């Protein structure tokens, strides 16, 4: 049995202490960051070793590879990809072009990840930013209209899935109105329920069939003035599972982010108690990892069913002409740049 958490690690190689931790505590999956990445060969070896330690050859290995400023893989070993806002700009010229660029970019990213053995990308975003919000989302977003955002997010999902990569929808039920970066501070959104349902939640609703989603560490005071969505049973039951209708595997955003209150152990317990299926811990600090593992139950019941359903939805990569796809994406990027000048 595995436990209901996903863990990071400290560096480019596993330490003896990390190997022992993985073997003893059995996380469901792993997540990689820039500190874990040097070369393609090194990343591939690390991914294999993580799975060997767990004894699970298909264990989920996640990464945040969006394009733009959120890219754990980059030059010189991996190509750069555009931020999500470019797809929105193309969509405004011609919706078909925006969707094509989004799909192509995601398919190329999927090819990069598949070659490394990484099988989950924390993408797409369905956050709908508003004027005055913190820049943490910014040009990562596909636009400011829910229908447009959902359409581009669907195209990104298709590109990832065509390349054999599972998507993680984020940050449900919406990070676009946050007036603070949740890495450092807890944002409170006071927008009334009808407006949230018309905008923020509306972008996620057409994507409710995706296999996995990541929560937002954001308080929506109209529903729960005391807790961010990640630790709010009200938000998870009434909004994420109810209004939005998401029935896939729900993971927290990083439990070590300062938007959450209390110790790591207390945060972990609160995340599980609220109804999240999975706790995500990212910073690779072993003592924190042990606290998360201590407070996390074995994956069972409905959460286990959702996890199995998510993994079983992964498809084999489809045939792919990488050179032609990159050339087509570059032409679309150039067109967006010219149109935006």
Kindly list the catalytic residues. 183, 253
Residue 230: C-alpha distances to residues 127, 183, 198, 237, 332 (Å): 15, 14, 21, 11, 37
Nearest Cα residue to 73 out of 116, 103, 107, 105: 116
Outline where the chain has alpha helix (H): 16-25, 40-54, 84-93, 95-116, 146-162, 193-198, 200-204, 233-234, 264-274, 286-295, 301-312, 322-340
Element (DSSP H or E) covering residue 253:
strand 249-254
**What's the CA gap between 284 and 292, in Å, rounded?**
11
Cα dihedral 19/300/30/161 (nearest 10): 150
Tokens of 170: 């984020």
Q: Which candidate, 129, 90, 159, places its Cα nearest to that of 318?
A: 159
């Amino acid at each position: 049995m595995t436990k209901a958490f996903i863990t990071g690690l400290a560096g480019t190689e596993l330490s003896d202490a990390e190997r022992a931790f993985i073997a003893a505590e059995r996380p469901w999956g792993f997540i990689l960051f820039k500190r874990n990445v040097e070369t393609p060969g090194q990343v591939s070896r690390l991914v294999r070793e993580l799975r060997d330690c767990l004894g699970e050859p298909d264990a989920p290995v996640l990464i945040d590879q969006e394009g733009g400023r959120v890219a754990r893989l980059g030059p010189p070993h991996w190509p750069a990809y555009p931020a999500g806002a470019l797809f929105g700009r193309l969509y405004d010229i011609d919706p078909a072009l925006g969707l094509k660029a989004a799909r192509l970019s995601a398919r190329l990213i999927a090819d990069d990840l598949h070659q490394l053995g990484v099988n989950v990308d924390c993408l797409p975003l369905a956050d709908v930013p508003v004027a005055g919000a913190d820049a943490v989302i910014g040009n990562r977003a596909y636009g400011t209209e829910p229908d447009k955002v959902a359409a581009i997010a669907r195209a990104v999902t298709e590109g990832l899935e065509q390349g054999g990569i599972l998507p993680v929808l984020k940050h449900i039920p919406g990070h676009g109105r946050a007036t603070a970066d949740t890495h450092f501070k807890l944002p409170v959104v006071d927008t009334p329920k009808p407006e949230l349902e018309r905008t923020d939640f509306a972008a996620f609703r057409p994507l409710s069939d995706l296999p996995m989603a990541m929560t937002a560490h954001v308080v929506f005071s109209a529903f729960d003035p005391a807790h961010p969505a990640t630790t709010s049973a009200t938000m998870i039951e009434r909004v994420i599972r109810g209004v939005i209708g998401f029935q896939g595997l729900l993971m927290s955003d990083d439990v070590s982010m300062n938007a959450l209150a209390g110790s790591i152990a207390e945060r972990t317990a609160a995340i599980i108690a609220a109804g999240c299926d999975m706790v995500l811990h990212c910073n690779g600090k072993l003592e924190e990892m042990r606290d998360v593992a201590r407070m996390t139950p074995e994956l069972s019941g409905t959460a286990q069913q959702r996890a199995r359903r998510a993994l079983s939805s992964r498809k084999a990569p489809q045939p792919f002409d990488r050179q032609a796809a990159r050339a087509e994406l570059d032409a679309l990027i150039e067109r967006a740049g010219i149109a935006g000048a």
